[in-house]
A and B are shown apart, each in its own frame.
Chain A
Amino acid sequence: MKNEIKKFRAKLGITQEQLAEKVGVRRETIVFLEQGKYNPSLKLALLIAKELSTPIDKLFYLEE
């Protein structure tokens, strides 16, 4: 699974720390998510999509 968290986060101009705080995870989790080394739970994915004001299917998608 791939994601565009970094892109949408940069668009909003928020740091990894700020996003982590908003969704209630550690900053390292956001780092691993952005690097594609960790697949989030559905709850976390929905929270991130909500915080980044982006539809979840644009934020997370399966690799072709």
Chain B
Amino acid sequence: MTFLLSFSNIRLLEIINKIMTKKTYNKIKLGIVFVISLIFSISLALNNFFIPITTLVLASLVLFYLRKKVVGVIADERDYEIGGKSALLAIQLTSWIGAIVMFGLYAFSDRNPFYQPIAMTLAFSICALMISYSIIFKYYNKHSFKNEKRD
């Protein structure tokens, strides 16, 4: 039995090594995201927080392993450049929309008592986002960001 299990494991590893192209990796990633979202929604409905966290950790490990097996380049300098620009724009948009909504909620807080805590949470979230962005930016500005480290 042990022999059969270890044999099937070796076969599985061989298959993974052979078929793990970028396309297959992306398909598996999509499947995993679908499964995670399904497990998340079911677990939250059942008030269980252990299963989603375990699933998330396991899925990250599986994806990390499969990514290492992919033959060819998954992301290159162009992707990182686009990623950087997209992240900056996303942060700016989120901050602006968050700030506008926050002031709107403050302005109408006399109509509904729940508006004020929501506005406060929003304000602190935006501040946290901008502070973390600045800290990470300063870090990478100081310690030059080499392509090799991002592969």
Contact = CB atoms under 8 A, between A and B. Distances in A.
B93 to A, nearest CB: 24
Given A20-B73, A21-B72, A24-B73, A29 B147 contact: no
Given A41-B147, A43-B147, A32 B78 contact: yes
A38 B79 CA distance: 11
Contact of B78 (A21, A38, A43): A38
B77 A40 contact: yes
B76 A26 contact: yes
Interface residues of A, number: 13
Interface residues of B, number: 9
B15 interface: no
Contacts of B75: 26
B72 A25 contact: no
23 contacts: A21-B73, A24-B76, A25-B73, A25-B76, A25-B77, A25-B78, A26-B73, A26-B74, A26-B75, A26-B76, A26-B78, A26-B79, A28-B78, A29-B76, A29-B77, A29-B78, A32-B78, A38-B78, A40-B77, A41-B77, A41-B147, A43-B147, A44-B77
Contacts of A38: 78
Interface of B: 72-79, 147
A11 B79 CA distance: 28
A63 B143 CA distance: 33
Contacts of B77: 25, 29, 40-41, 44
Of listed B73, B74, B78, B147, residue having the most chain A CB within 10 A: B78
A26 B75 CA distance: 7
B147 to A, nearest CB: 7
Interface string A31-64: 0100000101101100000000000000000000
Contacts of A43: 147
Contacts of A29: 76-78
Contacts of B79: 26
